[in-house]
């Protein structure tokens, strides 16, 4: 059957995104076919489009979505046709009306979570889960501990603010405007720093923490925040670099970690954490519970038709979006 799919033929700007007709067949062993109700929009999609994370070409884009399972392949037992489902999963291909994909990271969606919310939260929410619950400094995190979270008004950041509040953590968020700082505070951040005004955000972190610094920094910005992130850490602190929105981090002189207090650095990825079905299910269960309980609410800032995917990428790169955004494929 023919479906609408957003693809690139060469890496480049948003103008390279094109909607094409593609044949979607039956799922093979370990696969499902899902008809999308909504597709998530994430910065990793920009990296795939511009070639920072190269893909075999031509390439379909998109790493998360939600919808109805239409068919299951041999060996798939946790899903059945007709199930409501959601996923964050490789390979890319979520920008489509329907697709065939590996089933292991596709999760049955609880009835209380709607499709748009699910598509907006899977990558971002599972990212926050592995950061705050698994990517931890020496001795872990306890209620009252300070953590620094960059881009706190973005899709990942707003979920992190709420989840940190639920854990009793004192999250210090950074953002690029007073309005975004207010949004982070509204969603549970204990403190917010406008890094365009307070350019030495590490000094503000020291001020907030009585000179001690934080136990952990969660940094998706990369090049622009790297040095300040290191300077914000307490001795034995952990810098978790999980993205590079401003560009890749510079080469690391490992001796710097010694002089700044026996620091730790890690570069985790979501897809390592959800590599097994059991791991993906356990993480998804915790995310669904947080959202279902109301402790974490998913803010959808904007909705785009699938045909407007290029504009969605322009807005994403221009940092015009707070919260999450979704693409809505044509139905019927």
Q: What is the DSSP letter of 249?
A: P
Which CATH fold topology does 2-124+271-328 show? Quinone Oxidoreductase; Chain A, domain 1 (3.90.180)
CATH homologous superfamily, domain 136-267? NAD(P)-binding Rossmann-like Domain (3.40.50.720)
Going by pLDDT thresholds of 50, 70 and 90, the confidence category of residue 319 is: confident
What separation, in Å, do the N-terminal and C-terminal C-alpha atoms of the chain show? 13
Helices 115-134 and 155-167, packing angle to 10 deg: 60
Partnered with residue 175 across adjacent β-strands are 194
Going by pLDDT thresholds of 50, 70 and 90, the confidence category of residue 318 is: confident
pLDDT above 90 coverage of the chain, percent:
87
What ranges do the domains of the chain cover? 2-124+271-328, 136-267
If you search the block for the tokens 């979006």, which residue do you land on?
321
Q: What is the pLDDT of residues 128-155, one digit of tens each?
A: 999 999 999 999 999 999 999 999 998 8
Q: What is the pLDDT of residues 14-67, one digit of tens each?
A: 999 999 999 999 999 999 999 999 999 998 899 899 998 899 999 999 999 999
pLDDT of residue 321: 75
Contacts of 261 (CB under 8 A, 6+ apart): 233, 234, 235, 236, 237
Hey, what are 258's tokens?
């010694």
Q: Find how far residue 3's CA is from the centre of its chain.
A: 26
Hey, what are 276's tokens?
């097994």
If you search the block for the tokens 């356990």, which residue do you land on?
282
Q: How many CB atoms lie within 10 A of CB 208?
A: 19
> Mean pLDDT across the stretch 190-212?
96
Q: How many CB atoms lie within 10 A of CB 186?
A: 14
Q: How far apart are CA 132 and CA 301, in angstroms?
A: 24
Global confidence as pTM: 0.91
């Amino acid at each position: 059957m023919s479906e609408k799919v957003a693809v690139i033929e060469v890496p480049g700007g948003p103008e390279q995104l094109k909607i094409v007709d593609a044949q979607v067949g039956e799922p093979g062993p370990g696969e499902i076919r899902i008809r999308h109700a909504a597709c998530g929009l994430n910065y990793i999609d920009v990296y795939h489009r511009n070639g920072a994370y190269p893909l075999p070409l031509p390439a379909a884009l998109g790493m998360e979505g939600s919808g109805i399972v239409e068919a299951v392949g041999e060996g798939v037992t946790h899903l059945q046709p007709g199930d409501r489902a959601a996923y964050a999963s490789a390979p890319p291909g979520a920008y489509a009306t329907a697709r065939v994909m590996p089933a292991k990271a596709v999760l049955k969606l609880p009835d209380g979570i709607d499709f748009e919310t699910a598509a907006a939260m899977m990558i971002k929410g599972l990212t926050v889960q592995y950061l705050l619950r698994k990517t931890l400094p020496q001795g872990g995190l306890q209620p009252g501990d300070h953590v620094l979270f960059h881009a706190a008004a973005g899709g990942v950041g707003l979920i992190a603010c709420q989840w940190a509040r639920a854990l009793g953590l004192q999250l210090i968020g950074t953002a690029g405007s007073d309005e975004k700082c207010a949004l982070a505070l509204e969603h549970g951040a204990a403190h917010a720093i406008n890094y365009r005004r307070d350019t030495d955000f590490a000094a503000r972190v020291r001020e907030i923490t009585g000179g001690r610094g934080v136990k952990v920094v969660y940094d998706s910005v990369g090049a622009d925040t790297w040095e300040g992130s290191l300077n914000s850490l307490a001795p034995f602190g952990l810098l978790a670099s999980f993205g590079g929105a401003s560009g890749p981090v510079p080469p690391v002189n490992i001796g710097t970690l010694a002089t700044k207090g026996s620091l730790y650095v890690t570069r985790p990825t979501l897809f390592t954490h959800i590599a097994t079905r059991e791991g993906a299910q356990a993480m998804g269960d915790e995310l669904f519970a947080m959202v279902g309980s109301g402790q974490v609410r998913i803010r959808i800032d904007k909705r785009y038709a699938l045909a407007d995917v290029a504009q969605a990428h322009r807005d994403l790169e221009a940092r015009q979006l707070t919260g999450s955004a979704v693409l809505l494929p044509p139905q019927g």
